[in-house]
């Protein structure tokens, strides 16, 4: 009976590991947009949003302060007159050590962020994704599964970049909406 119990526990444990591994593999799918001209990863969209460029600029600055811990370290261009904000963002990436199951530091990804503001619309662009190092290492290289240096962690890194950029975009769109002022009626 004990042998039977141990065997079933082992089978259950192995199937749970298999399901977890399968779920992790499924979760690692990403859909990075590639610019046809530059062949670089590029998130870009024009959003219709009511407001003058100066109002949209103020909303964008407010969002930068909300999203980035230190927005001042991100900016390289702040021009309310020209309706433009540019800068360089950074994000950490991680991998899971297969031996210990511990999440490890995979490095830092740098990217360019640009917002252009016009009457009743704005455009954001996220591009130039590079792994921080002694020299630039474009993330597009990670998409080449035929590369002899291919590493299975690359898919996880690209997934992390994609999900982080999707979250950045959704918070940006939400914060760029006009602020609704509630009247205190009592």
Give the whole-angstrom CA distance, residue 63 versus residue 48. 17
DSSP category for residue 34 = B
Q: Is residue 8 part of a domain?
A: no
Q: Residue 18's pLDDT is what? A: 43
Q: Is residue 152 part of a domain?
A: yes
Q: Is residue 84 part of a domain?
A: yes
Q: Residue 133's pLDDT is what? A: 87
User: What CATH number has the domain bearing residue 79?
Assistant: 3.30.530.80
pLDDT tens for the 186 residues of the chain, in order: 455 444 444 443 444 444 334 334 444 678 899 999 999 999 999 999 999 999 999 999 999 999 999 999 999 999 999 999 999 999 999 999 888 989 999 999 999 999 999 999 999 999 999 999 888 899 999 999 999 989 989 999 999 999 999 999 999 999 999 887 778 777
Q: Is residue 23 part of a domain?
A: no
Can you give the residue range of the structural domain that contains 157?
Answer: 31-176
How many structural domains comprise the chain?
1
DSSP category for residue 28 = T
CB contact at 8 A, 56 and 116: no
Give the whole-angstrom CA distance, residue 183 versus residue 107. 47
Q: Is residue 12 part of a domain?
A: no
Q: Is residue 121 part of a domain?
A: yes
Q: Is residue 49 part of a domain?
A: yes
pTM of this structure: 0.80
DSSP category for residue 100 = T
Q: Is residue 20 part of a domain?
A: no
């Amino acid at each position: 009976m004990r042998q039977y119990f141990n065997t079933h526990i082992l089978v259950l444990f192995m199937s749970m590991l298999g399901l977890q591994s399968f779920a992790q593999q499924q979760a690692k799918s990403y859909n990075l947009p590639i610019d046809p001209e530059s062949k670089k990863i590029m998130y870009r969209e024009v959003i219709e949003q009511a407001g003058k460029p100066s109002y949209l600029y103020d909303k964008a600055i407010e969002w930068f302060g909300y999203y980035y811990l230190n927005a001042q370290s991100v900016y390289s261009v702040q021009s309310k007159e020209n309706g433009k904000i540019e800068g360089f963002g950074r994000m950490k990436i991680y991998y899971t050590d297969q031996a210990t199951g511990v999440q490890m530091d995979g490095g830092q990804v740098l990217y360019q962020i640009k917002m252009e503001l016009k009457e009743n619309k704005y455009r954001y662009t996220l591009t130039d994704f590079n792994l921080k190092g002694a020299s630039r290492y474009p993330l597009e290289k990670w998409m080449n599964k035929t590369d002899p240096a291919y590493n299975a962690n690359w898919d996880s890194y690209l997934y992390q970049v994609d999900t982080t950029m999707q979250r950045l975009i959704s918070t940006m769109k939400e914060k760029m909406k006009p602020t609704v002022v509630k009247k205190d009626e009592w």
